[in-house]
Structure 1
């Protein structure tokens, strides 16, 4: 059987830029210029290269091409929980914008751990042209460290004063106040808040809104949770020990877990206990009872996030972060006057 010395040419069956150059009878540099769209190549040479590329079905390495052009055409997106459907619409919208401009999205999960998130962010910045942090848990000092990096970083779903990063977020405070006002008007006087991660800016804003209404007669206890279905399910016995008439849940996933646990404890919703969520994910409209919640403009948020990233990729500095997006309370069947 004949053998081929690996130093004499490319591996059989593997088409490289050298293979194309040999087939077209031109230099590797000429092939590179043609593939990058350079006009500094004679038309007849460019035609020979294009013909060789077509005949050999050659596809250039994106990484190598990116290095040559000074751009990897990758955008990193770092989020705390890939299993949370809340992030799907947000990332999908950013992916749509990125694709239209020739970028790919690389997604990473930090599992909600601030140290892991910072280390992952630093690693990603070596592989991407820009990085989007969704609902970041990184300490303020870490965010300031990322702000000093050359590649642009955009902060989404978090507002931090004194951090030199472009930010875009949804107003969590106002709709949570409106939701609690509705509960107070229904006659509720004792509530339990099933929290999200205490590291989440959204959780801090929602709890701040709830506390601000204590003067209007809605006494609320705080029960630590994690914003997941299972976490909320496990927290319901502690919540019931406070004898509430309503559970205010950090998000819709928490509300779904809470309703399931209440059912298993023989507590009817909303006859015996009202339950609210936040985000208005698709399940909120299809569980029984349908969930009173707050819309979260995820598509608009994704568009705003990509808009900031696009500006920075173009070398521009956003003059001001966009104003916080508005959210709206949606009243459904899971809330009613207390017994």
Structure 2
């Protein structure tokens, strides 16, 4: 063999290699094609000749000879997305090490073009890598049979022999929501990706799991897309939503949103946290640096090639390979902004001084001191109107059927014979009788502490003697309605009382304890509007008869629901609303540690209260104070029992976690008058 070096002359051919090595062209071909039938010494001579001459086989001739191109096709839905660029890089590098080149086809998120593009690529290539296909499952299964050998990336098919590698996006979403929940976020918005994307479907699975794990978590879903511009397009929807955190389908959508939020004057993360998905290279260099979910993009591509190479060689596809992503905390997600407490403002009402509670620019509750009520109405503080966040009034004051019903108030029919309920008193053997026995609840002190209204009251009998002293606490706040896609905030109103005597024992009774069966009213009482269709739900079942007298964990009034709600809930009464009102649900519950039976009316009039003396008198002594409370969540919209129960569970969880005291000690005025 000579020691000639290749010159700048004609390109060496296979014949030149054969002459140089002293073998036939067929032997050279067998060596270059990796045939094991050639003697090792001869193969070494051939390879040395190839190196000496600088011979490069004709790929076209080789493909015609072997029936393959040593090229694979990679079909992606969006080549502009850095996620797919990184997967492609992983495929390309791994395939190049095995002598394969890559042909790329971009379907531009058009599922209708996906099958045709994949078939065309397969005609030109030996095998196909199909990334995140958007085709429906039946069409995809049929296509895969045509494309073999093929590997799927980010798409799994049950019981399919086609090899696949994918990301556990459900786990990734669970991690994101767990992190945001730990940061205090309860109302979260998900900007969903393409509807045909399996990755989007898996993210939704993760949302459902997270909401199941966290009863107080609310996730609303808004369709956005997968491109940078899609994040900017939905900025108005995001700004108008009451979420404190946003999770985007991918980093591109998140970055587009952050840019648009900056233009809208919304600061990330101080006003709104934003989290992406994929951890593309730009994410770490954004301002602020984007918190995201990191996925092994290049590893995904490399593993896709490994499985495709094995399939080309005749091996079975193997079990699906799933990569677990991880949450990467950066700068765009932070602790939830502290909720603004309600603003309590005093006004000089011409009849009764008022305190108003405002959440932002919405007046949601007006509290009267009761001094404008008639003596026979048992003057007492009361809240009316109480208004949902959507603007629906859910209380009524002085209705024709019961003029002494005044919105939300603490009203007791019998405190050692004195009525703090108003109206007539039930007298055994006589029935309801108007007596001169009405007391007065007088506010002696009021203070606001971190948005919580605290009041101290004296309960003064007809003879001027103070029978009871009460410390009262009123909380008004926004509440995130839990569940996937609820997309709602609600109004939460919670009132609680602690009663102590001024020395002697005091007993509380009701018409029921005085002989009127089923009339155990007396305690915190909420009068609802009479002009609304209403139906009753409870933890024990639907209907007034089920809820009344029970100790159900919760009771809800659904007001002005359409006809379908009537059949779902059982008892439905009341005249047609005039003018039409929007459906509203008011859910009631009591603190678990101090729960009394419910007093419920729906057919005669709409009202609900705590029954402090349902069947027997309740005794209060200096050593045994009476503790009671009522909590209401006012939701714009008609809820079903499952949704109502989810709210109760979220409230119960918050109650169990709370370290805030539920009540304060009554303060003495130093006088019984």
Unpaired stretches in structure 2, ≥5 consecutive residues: 1-8, 339-673
Q: 1:1-80 residue pairs with structure 2 within 5 A?
A: 31=25, 34-35=28-29, 37=31, 54=53, 60-80=57-77
Partner of 1:196: 193
CA distance in 1, matches of 2:147, 2:187: 50
User: Per the alignment, in what secondary structure is the counterpart of residue 66 of structure 1?
Assistant: helix
Which has the higher mean CA deviation after the structures are superposed, 152-161 or 209-218? 209-218
Partner of 2:331: 333
Unpaired stretches in structure 1, ≥5 consecutive residues: 1-12
In the alignment of these two chains, the number of paired residues is: 315
Partner of 2:250: 251
State whether residues 146 and 153 of structure 1, in contact with CA within 8 Å, keep that contact through their aligned partners in structure 2.
no
CA distance in 2, matches of 1:176, 1:97: 29
Q: List structure 1 segments (4+ residues) > 4 angstroms apart after TM superposition.
A: 13-17, 30-33, 57-60
User: Per the alignment, in what secondary structure is the counterpart of residue 279 of structure 2?
Assistant: coil
User: Are the structure 2 counterparts of residues 239 and 75 from structure 1 closer, same or farther at C-alpha, using a change threshold of 3 Å?
Assistant: same
User: Per the alignment, in what secondary structure is the counterpart of residue 137 of structure 1?
Assistant: coil
TM-score by length of 2: 0.43
User: Per the alignment, in what secondary structure is the counterpart of residue 288 of structure 2?
Assistant: coil
Q: 1:79-90 residue pairs with structure 2 within 5 A?
A: 79-90=76-87
Q: 1:1-339 residue pairs with structure 2 within 5 A?
A: 31=25, 34-35=28-29, 37=31, 54=53, 60-149=57-146, 151-215=148-212, 216-322=215-321, 324-336=322-334, 337-339=336-338
User: Per the alignment, in what secondary structure is the counterpart of residue 213 of structure 1?
Assistant: helix
Displacement after TM superposition at 1:319 (Å): 3.4
Structure having the larger proportion of residues in helix = 1
State whether residues 292 and 330 of structure 1, in contact with CA within 8 Å, keep that contact through their aligned partners in structure 2.
yes
User: Per the alignment, in what secondary structure is the counterpart of residue 146 of structure 2?
Assistant: coil
State whether residues 168 and 305 of structure 1, in contact with CA within 8 Å, keep that contact through their aligned partners in structure 2.
yes
TM-score by length of 1: 0.83
Displacement after TM superposition at 1:134 (Å): 0.9
Displacement after TM superposition at 1:36 (Å): 5.4
State whether residues 73 and 102 of structure 2, in contact with CA within 8 Å, keep that contact through their aligned partners in structure 1.
yes
CA distance in 2, matches of 1:14, 1:141: 54
User: Are the structure 2 counterparts of residues 235 and 150 from structure 1 closer, same or farther at C-alpha, using a change threshold of 3 Å?
Assistant: closer
State whether residues 274 and 338 of structure 1, in contact with CA within 8 Å, keep that contact through their aligned partners in structure 2.
no
Displacement after TM superposition at 1:248 (Å): 0.8
Displacement after TM superposition at 1:160 (Å): 2.1
CA distance in 2, matches of 1:150, 1:288: 43
CA distance in 2, matches of 1:265, 1:97: 45
User: Are the structure 2 counterparts of residues 14 and 112 from structure 1 closer, same or farther at C-alpha, using a change threshold of 3 Å?
Assistant: farther
State whether residues 184 and 217 of structure 1, in contact with CA within 8 Å, keep that contact through their aligned partners in structure 2.
no
State whether residues 97 and 303 of structure 1, in contact with CA within 8 Å, keep that contact through their aligned partners in structure 2.
yes
Which has the higher mean CA deviation after the structures are superposed, 102-111 or 217-226? 217-226
User: Per the alignment, in what secondary structure is the counterpart of residue 125 of structure 1?
Assistant: helix
